Amino acid sequence: AQSVTQPDIHITVSEGASLELRCNYSYGATPYLFWYVQSPGQGLQLLLKYFSGDTLVQGIKGFEAEFKRSQSSFNLRKPSVHWSDAAEYFCAVGASEGGANNLFFGTGTRLTVIP
């Protein structure tokens, strides 16, 4: 069965510092991987996705993620965090079950940015 693990519940970084949010997945076939961000009181917004090809994926807002099949990981990175990046971040894997293509989400990582 597919699953997504985000081991860090809450991360605090200083503005301008680099950021890495961890994501590990479990899925038997080729994974479709996503990172979404949720600001307070808002719905989720897609940051980036990986389907195939280059394992380093660029997204919006200066984020990137690297797919590492050997580690079953899809970590999200940003070289310099801005205060506006404070939000909750969700990793998800797309899985095909019974003909349905749906997403399975991790529990999220809450990012706090301090000045």
Residues forming contacts to another protein in the complex (CB under 8 A) are: 4, 9, 32, 34, 36, 41-46, 49, 51, 90, 94, 100-108
Tell me the CA end-to-end span of the chain in Å, nearest whole number: 41
Closest approach, Cβ 13 to another protein, in A, equals 20
Amino acid at 108: G
To another protein, the closest distance from the beta carbon of 72 in angstroms equals 17
Which of 37/113 has CB closer to another protein?
A: 37
Question: Among all chains, which residue has been given the structure tokens 């989400």?
Answer: 105
Q: How far is the C-alpha of 100 from the C-alpha of 88, rounded, in Å? A: 27
What six digits make up the tokens of 41? 């009181």
- Which CB atom, from 9 or from 53, has the smaller least distance to another protein? 9
**Between 43 and 115, CB nearer to another protein:** 43
β-strand pairing of 73-78 with 56-58: unpaired
Least Å from the CB of residue 47 to another protein: 10
Helices (H) and strands (E) in the chain, counts: 0, 12
How is residue 51 written in tokens?
Answer: 């389907």
- Closer Cβ to another protein, 37 or 81, answer by number: 37
Least distance to another protein, CB of residue 103, Å: 7
